[in-house]
Amino acid sequence: MLKRMMQEDRGIIDLPVLYVFLVVLFIGIGLIIDTGMAMISKYDTVIVSRETARMAAIIPGGTSAALNKAEELFLGFGRPLSHDGHTLFDKSRDVDINLYDGEYVTSTVTYRHPWIITDIGKIFGSSSPRSPYDAVTATTSFRREW
């Protein structure tokens, strides 16, 4: 009788372990995807910064053309310019072109990357949630050609 009771209780712990494993698995996959998308946003921001600095360095007074190029590149990369009513990229606010840096032109571009998983800290007991948008910034300098 005791042997039969022991055999019936053998798989009772498998279901809660499966639930915990699935939750951890989905959180891990979400973080991997989210981090990869943030790295792609950083890469795109570096490209936009490089191209705007290059355009401002080559064309005298080319800051407006460089600003338009920045917006065109972000749209070409498929980056959303707004998300849930928040502006992620605005060419007049997020592109800073410094023409007065000696012989160099410096371009700083900021993009607010939207996170998929924003409340991961709450799962692990944090009281303050993470911001749904983090600034990704890149700075590039080119020697002025004019």
**9 pLDDT band (50/70/90 cuts)?**
low
Residue 107 corresponds to which tokens in the numbers above?
A: 């371009």
* pLDDT, tens digit (0-9, with 9 covering 90-100), for 32-58: 998 899 899 999 999 999 999 999 999
- Is residue 88 within 8 A of residue 82, CB to CB? The reply is yes
- Alpha helix stretches (DSSP H) within 1-146: 2-8, 14-58, 63-76, 91-94, 120-123
pLDDT at residue 15 in the model: 80
* pLDDT, tens digit (0-9, with 9 covering 90-100), for 86-132: 899 999 999 999 988 789 999 999 999 888 777 666 666 666 666 78
Residues 6+ apart with CB under 8 A from 10: none
CB-neighbour burial class of residue 11 (10 A; exposed 0-12, middle 13-18, buried 19+) = exposed
134 closest CA partner among 60, 55, 38, 62: 38
CB-neighbour burial class of residue 88 (10 A; exposed 0-12, middle 13-18, buried 19+) = buried
pLDDT at residue 116 in the model: 79
